[in-house]
């Protein structure tokens, strides 16, 4: 094959690979197959992608917005809404997998969900939680599993809980940006005796601030503060050079995060006091499915306009042939 032919073949192979990654290429004609998903297309013009250095540089300049996501649609919608960071949190064990806590979610599951969210995120910085047991036993495990979330899942940063300076330093040295997490760390809820507000006493508050400074020194570029008094979060935010993201930590943090299911009214049961619901999608979804079920049962769905038409005479010809059979 000549050089021009080789170039054309290579271009075709690249195009096939690009479309194949979306899993949405149209096969066949006349079936209403969707056009390629936006994730398969070049990014639209607009704000540049958010990076870890840009997040770090935002301290004192703008407030950061983070939400969790568990799959491609939630990642795509959060990204389209203009959030700065999308977190694939281990809370998905509870909000997406129906488990009682976060402790049972595995590395394979976190990689799977991170890869799904990554398919929908074009601009926001994608952060993945390191699940329970993936970094506590050995520093080498922490580095290996952080690299898995990046290489296999498509994460651009990882988050781990607690005063894990040695692990954070090692992961950062491996080239992976790290988000730290202090206060109520849900993977340790057995040690806390439940989901309880932390750092209420002076000694505990000072210890938390000191831990934040140590994790900053270890290489964390961002710190999540969960379920601590607002005054303690304000002190930590003032003392640290890295931004803080609050969840139940008051308004003085450099940004805020909420869980997707809580924010949109998809979770069930009592919500923590810091949750503000911006929609009731659970009720809307339930009512929509109930309406669909009613339409099916009373015969109003599908309507004629929702059916594929037959060619002229097809029904009559089929009837004739069936009678002769």
- The Cα–Cα gap between 206 and 212 comes to 10
Residue 17's pLDDT is 38
Which token pair is 182? 């202090």
Specify which residues 178 forms β-bridges with.
158
Please name which of 160, 158, 156, 246 lies closest in space to residue 197, comparing C-alpha atoms.
Answer: 246
Bridge partners of residue 255, in order along the sequence: 64, 245
Cite the beta strand spans of the chain per DSSP E: 64-68, 85-88, 125-129, 157-161, 178-183, 222-226, 244-247, 255-258
Residue 46 is predicted with a pLDDT of: 76
Instruction: Tell me if 276 sits within 8 A of 67, measured CB to CB.
Output: no
pLDDT, residue 14, reads: 44
Looking up tokens 């989901």 gives 195
For the chain, the domains span 52-279, 282-324
Mean pLDDT of 151-159: 98
At the topology level of CATH, where does 52-279 sit?
TIM Barrel (3.20.20)
N-to-C CA span, the chain: 54
pLDDT over 60 at 44, yes or no: no
283: pLDDT strictly greater than 60: yes
Instruction: Give me the DSSP letters along 182-208.
Output: EES-GGGHHHHTSS-----SHHHHHHH
Compute the residue count for the chain. 325
Catalytic residue among 72, 161, 226, 234: 226
User: What confidence tier does 194 reach under pLDDT thresholds 50, 70, 90?
Assistant: confident
Top mean-pLDDT range of 15-29, 42-56, 233-247: 233-247
Q: Judging by DSSP bridges, how do beta strands 125-129 and 85-88 pair with one another?
A: parallel
CA distance 25 to 98: 32
The SS3 call for residue 226 is strand
| pLDDT score at 300 | 97
Cα torsion through 135, 132, 244, 88, rounded to 10: 110
Q: What's the token pair of residue 94?
A: 């509870």
**Which residues, 6 or more positions from 18, have their beta carbon under 8 angstroms from its beta carbon?**
40
Residue 6 has pLDDT above 90, yes or no: no
**Cross-strand partners of 223:** 180, 244
If you compute the radius of gyration of the chain from its CA atoms, what whole number of angstroms results?
25
State both tokens at 98.
């129906």
Phi, psi of 80 (to 5 degrees): -65, -25
Summarised one tens digit per residue, pLDDT across range 196-206 is: 899 999 999 99
pLDDT digit string, tens, across residues 68-114? 999 999 999 999 999 999 999 999 999 999 999 999 999 999 999 99
Instruction: Tell me the C-alpha distance between 69 and 78, whole Å.
Output: 8
Signed CA dihedral, 285, 287, 293, 295: sign only: negative
Residue 213 exposure: Cα atoms within 13 Å on the Cβ side: 10
Q: Tell me if residue 226 is catalytic.
A: yes
Assess contact for 174 and 157: CB atoms under 8 A.
no
């Amino acid at each position: 094959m000549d050089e021009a032919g080789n170039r054309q073949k290579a271009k075709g192979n690249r195009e096939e690979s690009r479309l194949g990654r979306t899993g949405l290429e149209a096969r066949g004609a006349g079936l209403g197959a969707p056009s390629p998903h936006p994730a398969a297309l070049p990014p639209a013009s607009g704000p540049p992608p958010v990076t870890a250095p840009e997040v770090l540089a935002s301290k004192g300049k703008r407030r950061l917005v983070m939400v969790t996501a568990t799959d491609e649609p939630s990642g795509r919608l959060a990204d389209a809404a203009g959030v700065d960071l999308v977190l694939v949190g281990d809370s998905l064990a509870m909000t997406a997998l129906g488990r009682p806590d976060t402790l049972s979610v595995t590395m394979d599951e976190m990689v799977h969900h991170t890869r799904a969210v990554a398919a929908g995120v074009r601009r926001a910085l994608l952060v993945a939680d390191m699940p329970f047991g993936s970094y506590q036993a050995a520093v080498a495990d922490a580095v290996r599993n952080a690299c898995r979330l990046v290489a296999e899942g498509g994460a651009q940063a990882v988050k781990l809980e607690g005063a894990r300076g040695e692990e954070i330093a090692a992961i950062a040295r491996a080239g992976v940006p790290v988000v730290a997490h202090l206060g109520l760390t849900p993977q340790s809820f057995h040690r806390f005796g439940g989901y309880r507000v932390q750092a209420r006493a002076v000694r505990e508050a000072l210890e938390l601030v000191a831990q934040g400074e140590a994790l900053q020194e270890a290489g964390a570029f961002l710190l999540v503060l969960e379920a601590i008094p607002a005054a303690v979060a304000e002190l930590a935010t003032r003392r640290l050079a890295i931004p803080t993201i609050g969840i139940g930590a008051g308004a003085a943090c450099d940004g805020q995060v909420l869980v997707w299911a809580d924010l949109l009214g998809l979770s069930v049961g009592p919500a923590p006091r810091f949750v503000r619901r911006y929609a009731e999608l659970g009720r809307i979804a339930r009512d929509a499915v109930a309406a669909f079920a009613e339409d099916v049962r009373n015969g109003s769905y599908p309507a004629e306009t929702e059916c594929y038409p037959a060619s002229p005479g097809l029904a009559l010809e089929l009837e004739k042939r069936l009678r002769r059979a």
